[in-house]
Structure 1
Amino acid sequence: MIEILTPAQLDRARDTGHLVGTILHTLRARTGVGTNLLEIDRWAKEMILEAGADSCYVDYAPSFGRGPFGHHICTAVNDAVLHGKPHDRRLADGDLLTLDLAVSLRGVAADAAISFVVGGERDAEDERMISTTERALAAGIAAAEPGARIGDLSHAIGSVLAEAGYPINLEFGGHGIGSTMHQDPHIANSGRPGRGYRLRPGLLLALEPWVMDGTDRLVTDADGWTLRSANGARTAHSEHTIVITADGAEILTLTPGR
């Protein structure tokens, strides 16, 4: 299903996107060395419920997971990159953490992810990997305009990732979003320009470049959800929800002040 949102729905989408961006910003500021992943999940739950919203993850049970997910946010550490299930783990200095949050407010969902290094220890390759996903996301957003095709976005994203030397996994990528979290069209993180669905104003998309250092192959944890790099290397993931407008793309999930 591909939804084209009405002006009233778009206003609600902006509210949802603002909420997602605000929660991620707050969680990043609260998270430090010694923070437990279950604390992050609890904080996310409190902020979601206080806003009168719903997590898109608690009852999420797709074919590829061992559902329902049962938590309010995805927390992926170091070699984990997608669908990281919160568990009893305290973060250490230098851990690379990805927070992925999808929320529904008044019937419209928004989805975003950020990766960052916890504490004061910094690794140049971690920073390069995070920066690469952020630049790939910006390239995909820049390519999103009325009349463009999904392949144009995939090509823009993939060009940045490939130029930086990262293998690209095509199993999981961006997606349509609206009244539900995951909709058509699928937006692979690499592709051929000029191919696929033609973008129209009112279309909501979640773009999410992610990479693993030195591999494009995933393995699944015993929890049935958390996806990790097959070689145990670090990972990074950046995501925004955007809406196609008459002039281009509007980012809905920016953090406050950006």
Structure 2
Amino acid sequence: MRICLITEAPDHPLLAATADVLTPRHRVEVLDPGAGASAGRPVSDLVGRGALADVYLLKSHTPRALALAASLEERGAPVLNSAASTALCQDRTEMAALALRAGLPFAATRTVATLGQLAAEEPATPLVIKSRHSRRHDLVARADDMACVRDLAKGWPNEPVVVQEFTANSGWDHKLWVIEGRLFAALRRSELSPDGRGPTRPLPIRDLPEGWADLVVRVGEVFALDVYGVDILDAGDGVPLIVDINAFPGIRGQAGAPEALAGLAVRVGSGG
């Protein structure tokens, strides 16, 4: 079976470990969606018109990678996750709207055209301010007062943003990941905590508050995702508040994750 990784970083720990699981019996290829971009080559040139791989794993979230995935899907290739589902998770406005329509406990989210406009509004604080479009090195910040908002606006004046009220919490994010229904979990010190992002701690699934595991599985159903992550805050007494959903996250350091991803790829690639 031919299994293709759509990524600029095939040495990513999850992908490298998954490839190690697969290669004794399957052919693992890498397709860099950024190849040829500087020369203006269309993404269709990356795969040509020859035989397609049996399944593609979409680890890259760049616009070019999404275009490549959509092109492969049009030709009938299975892509995990789909281009549409991945794109949905890159737009925090659309993500929040779908989650709230589905009745998921997602943080109330407001979209503002630019951060400069938000600063001019002088909103009530504290706030969490994020770039509307999720990408590498995007804006994710806590603003405890208007001075913080204005400072952010100086550096990102034209950035489209989403705004959420800050919810008091322990300062630890519950990082929950799913691969085809199999759940993995960890605690990570939030980048929005006063001391900034800190270490990741193990979190046994049995220690999750009641109902959280089912909630995370439900997220995958709503967003049509097979490999995804959900960031949840404990808003008090085990009440969950979803603050982010990620298509195909890193899932680093989770025993069994590479094997689960390899199994998913083989099942989908074989038409199962």
TM-score in same-fold range (> 0.5): no
User: Which one has the bigger helix percentage?
Assistant: 2
Greater relative CO, 1 or 2 (CA 8 Å, sep 6+): 1
**Structure index of larger Rg:** 2
TM-score by length of 2: 0.29
